[in-house]
Structure 1
């Protein structure tokens, strides 16, 4: 193993390899290969002027993910030295959520989130996703050519989120749009505030009109989460349930439409959508680098010196493809790290698989002759070290007769030529106005979200 003392930087010119910018987005595996030459953990630049340590070794990643003592998740000591306008701060900063905290708080929050998600009926979820997907396919089918990211994979998780959380369409769109802005790392501080205020509006709505939804169940859970804790669990759920679900769907569709092993499977071959999902979770996971911990004191760990209070980031993508553990045939193998593992493993992975699988199956059934509109190598990836996300996924197919139809209450009206912009009909068109939050409650939470804890 190479010692850091003999190779102080993975870059020949002595600078840290960057995990931000278009170069990394275009070829992350090339960066991971260079970092592996350094050892199982290598120093990187997460954002301009923000150093970190990236774990690329599968076994070392397992060890860190299971060790809450040496590798705590609390970012507060680290973020004291980070400027408030740092673009990665809204993603990496401490939040009282079950994935960014340590015990005993983690266990209490995790219990509330897990119990709440367990109340979701998987059959009802599958039925809702099928119905929504069929309607989206129906509005796209006359167009002949669409961007599946914006017209399908972005819309469907939003519809599901709104349904599960009892969220009005306009408010859900505002939340998801804010998440997208945060992950662009442009004006992310402002987007974080927009996201927080939208979540508080949803909670105010559920205080006045509770229902059989995730928001109400979290607020009423026996663990008695504070308003602040509820707000942050919702932020966690909307982030994972919108952007990461979108990326999982898009990355899997890219594989199905570009890899000959799966192209044959689209018309009844031996490789299924589930196989494609597992392949993507191994090779192009939507959450590429996260699971961040912050050692409270310097550590000598697997021959690498880890500074205190500096982020240790798990590269799920690199660890999954560690040459030391990679197998040629991964069919049916779900030992990847893409959902995390140990005490901070994703609590919603069952629901995420249902949403992604049904979304892809319905699309392939509805548009069986679909193909990429550009060569796969010309597709571009969005910058950012955390997610693996395509900028677009243009496809073409024989158009069906008739104009596309809008969905009732759809926050994204059809964008193609000939789209019919009719007002939505039925109950969705008559949503009750948002109740005004109690002044003291709103002011306290708004001030707290803005950082005023006095």
Structure 2
């Protein structure tokens, strides 16, 4: 995706608008052009009011992700320069959580989250996903057609996350609406307020009625998180648990239904759903660009001086596909950066893998003759600098009777 006509006279002054529909339509062409023009780091706009640097080189990204002194995650200086209405602000602003902290604060928040996540028993989670999948499959199996994004991947992810966080549906619906507004960048400020109110109610509920769930685990943790800190731990968990998880399920299904290596081999048993997940996580990660840091002083990366207090965004999608680490074999190869790396690596990887794997296995077992309803190159993606999210995943299949849970 070369610079459009009318861009600044000098190519190096051009910043790629990652918020544009054109970028969402073909981000990998944009990454390739950036790599050819700039090397491992490229100037971009996350929003018209938010210039940033996008890291598209794998080795540069690994160095940055492990260098929290020169690349801390605290955005407070940067956000003073951004208009309050900027739609990406809720995705990037300071919150008292592990994602936006360093040093002792980061250790404190991360310890609480890791311990709470470790309390989730995998066999219980497996059953929870199965129980969520069954009624969703039964709603569509008799019809012969469905949108797997809105009728399966999203509601399943939402229900499972609410279950392990101990969140009742009436609160969870507002959480989902607020989080969607934040990811979309449409009415993001209003979505942020809606999210905060709903999560405050959840914390109050679990304080009165504790349970065997992640929210209660955070409340009872020896770190003694206060109400504001509790709110922002839950923001992080929901942010990581709804949109990226939904996209992981939907995009892996898209891969399996469109690629002959998977659409044939998976159903014959020579490749597993886990192999498909590994492939998807490597070549087309559901959270394509994130892991943001904010250098406190100008810093040089591969011969380019990055300005102080301006966001440095890791493109997991571009880095995973960097020709410098190219490999023809992805199955079982988990050297990708989709889960980040270094001190901020995602602590929920086993849970995310399990939810996606069980969800995909359930729908494939129930509807083994399922096919895409449109050619894969006619599927479209929502605009936005961070996610890799389909607008729909339409499929058709022979109608079948409803299932019973055994």
TM-score, reference length from structure 1: 0.85
Q: How does 1:311-390 map to 2 (within 5 A)?
A: 311-390=311-390
- The verdict on how the C-alpha distance between 1:375 and 1:11 changes in structure 2, with shifts beyond 3 A counting, is farther
Alpha-carbon contact 1:370-1:397 (below 8 Å) kept: yes
Matching of residue 31 in structure 1 with residue 30 in structure 2: yes
Displacement of 1:13 after TM fit?
Answer: 8.6
Displacement of 1:268 after TM fit?
Answer: 1.9
Q: 1:416 matched to which residue of 2? A: none
CA distance in 2 between partners of 1:363 and 1:183 (Å) = 26
Displacement of 1:103 after TM fit?
Answer: 1.0
Alpha-carbon contact 1:147-1:393 (below 8 Å) kept: yes
Deviations 1:132-170 (A, max 9, x none): 212221221111111000000011111111111111111
Q: 2:264 matched to which residue of 1? A: 264
Q: 1:281 matched to which residue of 2? A: 281
Larger Rg belongs to: 1
CA distance in 2 between partners of 1:320 and 1:234 (Å) = 29
Q: Tell me, which stretches of 5 or more residues in structure 2 are unaligned?
A: 1-6
Q: 2:91 matched to which residue of 1? A: 91
CA distance in 1 between partners of 2:92 and 2:313 (Å) = 10
Deviations 1:316-349 (A, max 9, x none): 0000000011111122111000001110000111
Q: How does 1:212-227 map to 2 (within 5 A)?
A: 212-227=212-227
Q: 2:52 matched to which residue of 1? A: 52
CA distance in 2 between partners of 1:339 and 1:83 (Å) = 30
CA distance in 1 between partners of 2:283 and 2:292 (Å) = 20
Deviations 1:184-214 (A, max 9, x none): 1111001000000000010111111111111
CA distance in 2 between partners of 1:268 and 1:221 (Å) = 46
Alpha-carbon contact 1:134-1:366 (below 8 Å) kept: no
Q: 1:205 matched to which residue of 2? A: 205
Alpha-carbon contact 2:370-2:397 (below 8 Å) kept: yes
Matching of residue 160 in structure 1 with residue 139 in structure 2: no
Q: 2:94 is paired with a residue of what secondary structure?
A: coil
Alpha-carbon contact 2:49-2:86 (below 8 Å) kept: no
Q: Which has the higher helix share?
A: 2
Deviations 1:367-422 (A, max 9, x none): 111000111000000101111110000001111257x99xxxxxxxxxxxxxxxxx
Alpha-carbon contact 2:49-2:82 (below 8 Å) kept: no
- The verdict on how the C-alpha distance between 1:329 and 1:304 changes in structure 2, with shifts beyond 3 A counting, is same
Displacement of 1:287 after TM fit?
Answer: 0.9
Alpha-carbon contact 2:142-2:399 (below 8 Å) kept: yes
Q: 1:22 matched to which residue of 2? A: 21
Alpha-carbon contact 1:161-1:172 (below 8 Å) kept: no
Displacement of 1:301 after TM fit?
Answer: 2.1
Bigger Cα displacement from structure 2, 10-19 vs 332-341? 10-19
Displacement of 1:49 after TM fit?
Answer: 2.6
CA distance in 2 between partners of 1:100 and 1:330 (Å) = 31
Q: 1:395 is paired with a residue of what secondary structure?
A: strand
CA distance in 2 between partners of 1:194 and 1:330 (Å) = 40
Q: 2:229 matched to which residue of 1? A: 229
- The verdict on how the C-alpha distance between 1:144 and 1:10 changes in structure 2, with shifts beyond 3 A counting, is farther
- The verdict on how the C-alpha distance between 1:9 and 1:272 changes in structure 2, with shifts beyond 3 A counting, is farther
- The verdict on how the C-alpha distance between 1:349 and 1:171 changes in structure 2, with shifts beyond 3 A counting, is same
CA distance in 2 between partners of 1:142 and 1:18 (Å) = 43
Displacement of 1:15 after TM fit?
Answer: 2.5
CA distance in 2 between partners of 1:40 and 1:373 (Å) = 38
CA distance in 2 between partners of 1:203 and 1:299 (Å) = 41
Displacement of 1:9 after TM fit?
Answer: 8.3
Runs of 4+ with >6 A deviation = 8-11
Displacement of 1:119 after TM fit?
Answer: 0.6
How large is the Cα RMSD of the aligned pairs? 1.8
Q: 2:46 is paired with a residue of what secondary structure?
A: strand
Q: 2:323 is paired with a residue of what secondary structure?
A: coil
Q: Tell me, which stretches of 5 or more residues in structure 1 are unaligned?
A: 1-7, 406-454
CA distance in 2 between partners of 1:65 and 1:288 (Å) = 15
Matched residue pairs, number?
398
Q: 1:409 matched to which residue of 2? A: none
